Amino acid sequence: MRTYGAHGEAPLSFTVAGHSLGAALATLAAHDINSTFADVPMVTVMSFGGPRVGNRSFRRRLERGGTRILRIVNSDDFITKVPGFVVDNSKNNNNNHNNRAGEFPMWVKKRVEHTPWGYDEVGKELQLRSGESPYIFKRDVATCHELSTYLHLVDGLASSTCPLRATARKMFNEDFWCGKVGIF
């Protein structure tokens, strides 16, 4: 940071990227950077096909440190769905009834959220689906998780003729990603 941030040039920032286990490690590295150094510039994570990382407390620490995470998931890839339970982080679920099909009752969520099995969604999630691509012919578990599949899906999303582009633009507010990364 002394070498590259002291010359009065463009503001220094860190971008950490990874795929699969590397995506989980990128998230942990971002936390490590923010918690180890004083006056850290912005830290951004690009996570491709990574497993879940961290509980609610971990998510809050990342948010307080200003870490921005884009978690790119292929909904056909089971690696992005493990490990543990996801505790719904919506703030407006105050009753004990299920609001959506497949959602756990509030009493289950309260018991799970502070256990080692309770995971919270960290960062913003961009959900893509390899089954929607006419160019991916193999539909097996390995193909759904390959980095080349993820890059193909992101490339298709970012193309000017992609119908998913408008949907993706709605997913992220203007001050988070749009226009600052150059994808959208």
3-state secondary structure (DSSP) of residue 161: coil
3-state secondary structure (DSSP) of residue 68: strand
Is 152 a catalytic site residue? Answer: no
3-state secondary structure (DSSP) of residue 14: strand
Of 19, 31, 47, 77, which one is the catalytic site residue? 77
Is 31 a catalytic site residue? Answer: no
Is 77 a catalytic site residue? Answer: yes
Distance, in Å, from the CA atom of 110 to the CA atom of 105, rounded to the nearest integer, reads 9
Of 31, 76, 130, 145, which one is the catalytic site residue? 145
Would you say 105 and 69 are in contact if contact means Cβ atoms under 8 Å apart? no
Of 20, 31, 76, 120, which one is the catalytic site residue? 20
Neighbours of 73 (CB within 10 A): 21
- Both tokens of 111, joined, read 């018991």
Catalytic residues: 20, 77, 145
